[in-house]
Amino acid sequence: MADFNKLKTESYNEKTANIDKMSALEIVKCINDEDKTVAFAVEKALNEIAAAVDLLADTLKNGGRIFYAGAGTSGRLGILDASECPPTYGVSPDTVQGIIAGGPQAAFYSVEDAEDDFESIVAQLKERNFCGKDVLVAISASGSANCVKGAIDFAKKQGSKTVCLSCNKNSDLVPMCDIAIIAEVGPEVINGSTRMKAGTAQKMILNMLSTGAMVRFGRVRGNFMAYMIPSNKKLIDRAIRIIAAKTGVSYERAKEELEKANNVIADAIDNIEKETT
C-alpha cells in the first residue's frame, strides 16, 4: 500500500489553513494565487510532454489509437480531452478514447472504490480490443491508483507503449511507464482535493498532448483547424473564414468551395490551391 503521507498531493497547505474564516473575495484570491503556480510546475515537464507528443503522433501514423485511463477527476479529464478530438480534428471517435474506472456512469456519478480495483480499467480495455499498436496514457494525480496500475500492466503485456501523468515525483507509476510526466503542483487549497491544482495541471498537459499529436499527425494547416467538422452555424462560418484566410479568396468563393467539398475544409483548400498553381 502506498504511503500517502509522502505524497505532495495529500500534504497540508499552511497557506490556506484559515480559509474557512475568509471572505468570498479572500477565498477566490487565495485560490487564484495557488493556481498561478500550476503553469510553472507544468513547464518543468515540457521535455517529457514533448516526448509523449511524438509517441502519440507516431502511434496515430502507424494506425494505432490513444487511450486515456484514470479514476475520478483524472478519468473525467481524459474523457473530456478525448471527446474534443473528433469535432476539432475530424478524427474518428475511436482514435482517442477516454476510460474511467467504474465505467461510463462514473463520469457523472462518483464511484470512488473503483480506483482500488486493479481490473476496473483492464476490463474496458479488453472490450475495446486494446492492442500492441495502441498507446496508454495513465492519469493519476497521486500516482497510486490501483486501477491505473492494472491498466499499465495490461498494456505492457500487449507490447504497447505507456505514458503516465502524475503530480507526485515519487509516483508508483514512474518506473512502470516508458514516459513519465510529473507536474508537482504541491498541496491543494482544500487538502487532498486534487480536482483543483492537480486537475488544472492535468488539463493543461492533456491539451498539449492531444493538440501536439494532432498537429504532428497532420490534422492542422498552419494554425487552422482544417479538419474541423462544421456542424453548426458558428462552425460553418468559421470554416468559410479558414478557407478564405488560408487561400486568399473571398468569403463568397470560400463558401462555394466548402459546399463543393462536402464541408471538408482541407479538401476545399486543396482544390483552390490546385487551381491557382
- Based on the structure, what is the number of domains in the chain? 2
State pTM to two decimals: 0.92
244 and 195 belong to one structural domain: no
DSSP secondary structure string for all residues of 69-129: EESHHHHHHHHHHHHHHHHHH---TTTEEEEETT-GGGGTS--GGGGG-TTHHHHHHHHTT
| Residue 195 maps to a domain | yes
Pick the last residue of a domain from 216, 242, 264. Answer: 216
136 and 185 belong to one structural domain: yes
268 and 160 belong to one structural domain: no
Q: Which domain holds residue 261?
A: 233-276
Pick the last residue of a domain from 185, 216, 247. Answer: 216
Among residues of the chain, what percentage have pLDDT more than 90? 86
| Residue 222 maps to a domain | no
261 and 192 belong to one structural domain: no
pLDDT value of residue 7: 72
Q: Could you give the 3-state DSSP secondary structure of residue 181?
A: strand
122 and 167 belong to one structural domain: yes
| Residue 255 maps to a domain | yes
Is the Cβ–Cβ distance between 139 and 165 less than 8 Å? yes
State the Cα torsion 178-48-63-217 to the nearest 10°.
-170
| Residue 95 maps to a domain | yes
| Residue 224 maps to a domain | no
Q: Which one, of 177, 179, 190, 182, lies nearest residue 151 by Cα?
A: 177
Is the Cβ–Cβ distance between 70 and 152 less than 8 Å? no
258 and 149 belong to one structural domain: no
Pick the last residue of a domain from 216, 242, 262. Answer: 216
CATH number of the CATH domain containing 247 = 1.10.8
Strand partners, 179: 163
208 and 264 belong to one structural domain: no
| Residue 98 maps to a domain | yes
Say which range, 47-56, 65-74, 106-115, 214-223, has the weakest mean pLDDT: 106-115
148 and 264 belong to one structural domain: no
10, 34, 115, 257: the active-site residue:
115
CATH number of the CATH domain containing 189 = 3.40.50.10490
pLDDT value of residue 5: 60
Task: Please state, rounded to an integer, the average pLDDT across all residues of the chain.
Answer: 94
- Please confirm, yes or no, whether 84 is among the known catalytic residues: yes
- Per DSSP bridges, beta strands 66-70 and 135-139 are parallel
271 and 199 belong to one structural domain: no
| Residue 15 maps to a domain | yes
| Residue 112 maps to a domain | yes
Better pLDDT: 181 or 109: 181
153 and 244 belong to one structural domain: no
Q: Which one, of 234, 248, 219, lies nearest residue 56 by Cα?
A: 219
Strand partners, 115: none
pLDDT value of residue 116: 82
Instruction: Give helix 197-216 / helix 24-35 axis angle, nearest 10°.
Output: 40
10 and 107 belong to one structural domain: yes
Say which range, 77-86, 92-101, 150-159, 189-198, has the weakest mean pLDDT: 189-198
**pLDDT tens digits along 228-239:** 999 999 999 999
**pLDDT tens digits along 152-208:** 999 999 999 999 999 999 889 999 999 999 999 999 999 989 999 999 999 999 999
126 and 15 belong to one structural domain: yes
Q: How confident is the model at residue 1 (pLDDT cuts 50, 70, 90)?
A: very low
The whole-angstrom separation of Cα 185 and Cα 150 is 25
